[in-house]
């Protein structure tokens, strides 16, 4: 037990007294926690970049874009669908949304929103899809709500109109009833009229003869009277006339008995009176009927107006209902439909993961090889002899790089060769992929070499290389989506050589993008390689003598210890 304690204590002492080990033991967890804290201590929305394309960016489209922007998505509008999709392929945007000109539903047709997504980003594609679709569902619900509200408004308006017109119909009904009653009254009144003529027979011939005789006598008397009047007689005129006039008066009795005439006259008078009464009654009835009929006419006129109003109301209702364009239940319930389209051909998970796997292998191989080769040279017994060689330091650095590169190229050939077995269609993109891998390998090799030059012991250097590789991998989005980390760090991660290399290979491998399109990223990688090479040169020239001294001290000490040991043995 004591031995266990002593050995453990000794181990801890040795470990902590070695500066590099102590540094790693103490600072590695701190660094990881710091990185995690800085990276994922973030409650903001995932940093999605969304490309939006619409044939016309109407107010409607813009309002929806504003909604997306309010959700902290970064929105980029594109003039063409191709450019929008290309950006998804390039990884600049996470999805390209194709919006119709207007999101307003004007018919039974549903509005289709098309998402173009990159299926190769398998750790984030579903998240992108669901996150953005959710926003569309909300919008769809809003539109659906508006449509339902519209339907309800129309129903309410119809009801109001019908209620309103119902009162008019009731009034109309009353008026019609009243008119009917009046008409009945008129009818009754008119049916009561006695318009029957007296049935008595009058001696019309006698009356005619009498009338004729009398007319003749009258004429003659009148002629006599006229003659008398026209004569010059003075005294006898009256005397003459008198008889004439008497005669005239008495003419009535010529050829007609006074009795019969009287009877006739009486009868006539009676009949006339009767007729008079009847006419009076009829006149009264007609008057009353006129009044009633005028009322009926008025009522009918009003009814006609009311009917017009009712008809207009009904027309309004019809127009209101006809105004409801959406009659399909499906459209009403989900006015916006989403369609997912991939920007590449559907592939296997291997093809999606292939770029990341390639870069991962190349990164760790290059980092470790770079570090190991430098450490090998630094710790090689011949390191000192190199000082006396008429060879520039740059030559040593380049040769280490080339050695590493040859090994990496060998690895690339093996990896790509084997990959062809699984990904038979990848032939065409392999040369470009190989070029990108070559440049990426250069960057990682120089990084590994830099670590090799900085660190003293091989173990620490290798550990540092692995740590660096892990950090680069960690902030590459391969394991955890970059979109989840804080905005500040996210900006830096886009400069991660792993991210750039993986992006380039994905574009070439999955989308068959040409070098003309991706040249900028390629230049960035080359720039990294050059900068790292220059840093190594500077560092090497600064550290070279220090390394030599350290090397000498180390070997001098080792040799002395060896000598002492030999002496003791002897």
Partner 1 sequence: MELIRLKGVSKGYKKNVILQDVNLMLEAGDVLGVIGQSGSGKTTLLNLLVGFIEPTEGEIVYYSKVEGKEKDLNDNLHKIKRHFGFTPQHNSFYPKLTVKENLIHFGKLYKIDKKTLENNITSLLEFTKLSKHHNKLAEHLSGGMQKRLDISCSLVHKPKILVLDEPTADLDPILQKEILHLLEEVNKQGISIVIASHQLEHIERICNKVAIVHKGKVHSHGLIEEIKKPFIKDHFTINVHSGKEKESVLEKLKNLQFKKIIDKGHKLIIYPEHVKDTMNGLLNIINDEGLHFFDMDVRKPTLNEVFEKIALDDSEPKEEEQ
Can residue 380 be called a binding residue for partner 1 (CB under 8 A)? Answer: yes
Under rule CB under 8 A, residue 556 binds partner 1: yes
User: What tokens does 321 get?
Assistant: 């209902």
The Cβ of residue 453 has, within 10 Å, a number of other Cβ atoms equal to: 24
Q: Does 390 bind partner 1 (CB under 8 A)?
A: yes
Among 10, 491, 549, 550, interactor with partner 1 by CB under 8 A: 549
Residue from 387, 422, 492, 495 in contact with partner 1 (CB under 8 A): 387
Cβ atoms of 401 and 439 within 8 Å: the answer is no
Which of 382, 421, 427, 516 forms a contact with partner 1 (CB under 8 A)? 382
Q: Which of 30, 230, 322, 388 binds partner 1 (CB under 8 A)?
A: 388
The nearer residue to partner 1, 338 or 403, going by C-beta atoms, is: 403
C-beta of 390: minimal distance to partner 1 in Å?
5
Per-residue exposure over 2-18, b if at least 16 CB sit within 10 Å of its own CB, e if not = eeeeeeeeeeeeeeeeb
CB of 386 to partner 1, least distance (A): 8
The CA distance from 530 to 48, in Å, is 32
Find the shortest distance in angstroms from Cβ 449 to partner 1: 19
Nearer to partner 1, 192 or 560 (CB): 560
Count of positions on this chain that bind partner 1 (CB under 8 A): 23
Q: How far is the CB of 501 from partner 1 (least distance, A)?
A: 33
The reply on whether position 550 binds partner 1 by CB under 8 A is no
Q: Enter the tokens of residue 274.
A: 């009767």
Q: Give the residue with the Cβ less far from partner 1, 268 or 548.
A: 548
Can you tell me the distance from the alpha carbon of 367 to that of 500, in angstroms, rounded to the nearest whole number?
16
CB of 553 to partner 1, least distance (A): 9
User: How near is the Cβ of 563 to partner 1 at its closest, in Å?
Assistant: 6
Q: Is 563 in the site for partner 1 (CB under 8 A)?
A: yes
H helices present in 121-234, as ranges: 125-191, 204-230
Among 122, 233, 389, 538, binds partner 1 (CB under 8 A): 389
**Four-CA torsion 522, 523, 529, 535, nearest 10 degrees:** -150
The yes or no reply on residue 559 touching partner 1 (CB under 8 A) is yes
Site for partner 1 (CB under 8 A): which residue of 167, 312, 384, 479? 384
Torsion-angle region of 12 (φ positive above 0: left; ψ -120 to 50: alpha; else: beta): alpha
Give ∠ CA 240-244-246 in degrees, rounded to 5: 120
Instruction: Find all residues with CB under 8 Å of 248, minimum gap 6, and list them.
Output: 217, 218, 221, 222, 225
Interstrand relation of 111-117 and 95-99 (parallel, antiparallel or unpaired): antiparallel
Is 566 a binding residue for partner 1 by CB under 8 A? The answer is yes
Could you say which DSSP state residue 422 is in?
A: H
Only one of the segments 24-32, 59-67, 198-206, 547-555 lies at the binding site for partner 1 (rule: CB under 8 A); that segment is 547-555
Minimum distance, C-beta of residue 399 to partner 1, in the bound complex (Å): 11
Q: Distance (Å, rounded) from C-alpha 232 to C-alpha 234?
A: 6
Site for partner 1 in 27-66 (CB under 8 A): none
Residues 438 and 501 sit within 8 Å (Cβ to Cβ): no
Rounded to a whole number of angstroms, the minimum distance from the CB of residue 364 to partner 1 is 24
Structure tokens given for 231: 């004569």
Q: Which residues bind partner 1 (CB under 8 A)?
A: 380-385, 387-391, 545, 548-549, 552, 555-556, 558-560, 562-563, 566
């Amino acid at each position: 037990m004591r031995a266990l304690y002593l050995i453990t204590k000794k181990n801890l002492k040795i470990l902590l007294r070695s500066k590099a080990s102590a540094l790693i033991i103490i600072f590695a967890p701190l660094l990881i926690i710091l990185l995690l804290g800085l990276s994922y201590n973030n409650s903001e929305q995932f940093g999605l970049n969304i490309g939006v394309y619409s044939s016309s960016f109407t107010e409607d489209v813009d309002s929806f874009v504003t909604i997306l922007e309010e959700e902290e998505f970064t929105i980029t509008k594109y003039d063409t669908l191709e450019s929008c999709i290309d950006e998804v392929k390039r990884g600049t945007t996470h999805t390209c949304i194709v919006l119709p000109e207007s999101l307003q539903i004007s018919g039974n047709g549903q509005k289709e929103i098309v998402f173009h997504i990159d299926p190769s980003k398998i750790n984030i594609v579903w998240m992108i899809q669901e996150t953005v679709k959710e926003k569309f569902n909300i919008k769809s619900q809003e539109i659906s709500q508006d449509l339902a509200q519209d339907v309800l408004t129309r129903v309410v308006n119809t009801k109001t109109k019908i209620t309103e017109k119902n009162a008019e119909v009731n009034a109309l009904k009353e008026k019609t009833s009243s008119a009917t009653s009046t008409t009945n009254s008129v009818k009754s009144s008119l049916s009561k009229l006695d318009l029957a003529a007296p049935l008595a027979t009058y001696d019309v011939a006698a009356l005619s003869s009498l009338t004729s005789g009398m007319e003749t006598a009258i004429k003659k008397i009148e002629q006599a009277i006229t003659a008398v009047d026209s004569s010059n007689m003075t005294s006898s005129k009256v005397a003459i006339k008198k008889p004439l006039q008497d005669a005239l008066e008495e003419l009535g009795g010529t050829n007609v008995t006074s009795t019969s005439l009287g009877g006739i006259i009486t009868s006539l008078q009676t009949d006339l009176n009767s007729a008079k009464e009847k006419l009076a009654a009829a006149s009264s009835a007609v008057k009353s009927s006129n009044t009633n009929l005028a009322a009926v006419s008025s009522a009918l006129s009003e009814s006609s107006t009311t009917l017009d109003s009712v008809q207009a109301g009904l027309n309004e209702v019809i127009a209101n209902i006809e105004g409801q364009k959406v009659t399909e239940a499906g459209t009403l319930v989900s006015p916006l439909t989403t369609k997912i389209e991939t920007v590449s051909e559907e592939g296997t998970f291997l093809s999606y993961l292939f770029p990341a796997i390639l870069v991962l292998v190349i990164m760790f191989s290059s980092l470790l090889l770079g570090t190991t080769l430098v450490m090998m040279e630094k710790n090689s017994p011949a390191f000192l002899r190199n000082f006396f060689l008429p060879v520039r330091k740059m030559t040593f650095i380049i040769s280490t790089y080339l050695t590493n590169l040859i090994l990496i190229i060998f690895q690339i050939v093996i990896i790509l060769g084997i990959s062809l077995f699984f990904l038979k269609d990848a032939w065409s993109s392999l040369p470009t992929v190989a070029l990108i891998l070559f440049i990426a390998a250069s960057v990682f090799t120089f990084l590994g070499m830099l670590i090799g030059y900085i660190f003293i012991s091989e173990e620490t250097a290798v550990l540092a290389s692995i740590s660096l590789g892990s950090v680069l991998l960690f902030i590459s989005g391969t394991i955890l989506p970059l979109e989840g980390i804080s905005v500040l760090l996210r900006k830096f991660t886009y400069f991660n050589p792993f991210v750039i290399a993986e992006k380039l290979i994905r574009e070439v491998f999955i989308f068959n993008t040409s070098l003309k399109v991706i040249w900028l990223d390629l230049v960035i990688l080359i720039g990294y390689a050059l900068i790292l090479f220059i840093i190594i040169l500077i560092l090497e020239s600064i550290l070279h003598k220090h390394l030599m001294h350290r090397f000498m001290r180390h070997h001098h000490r080792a040799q002395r210890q060896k000598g002492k040991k030999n002496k003791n043995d002897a």
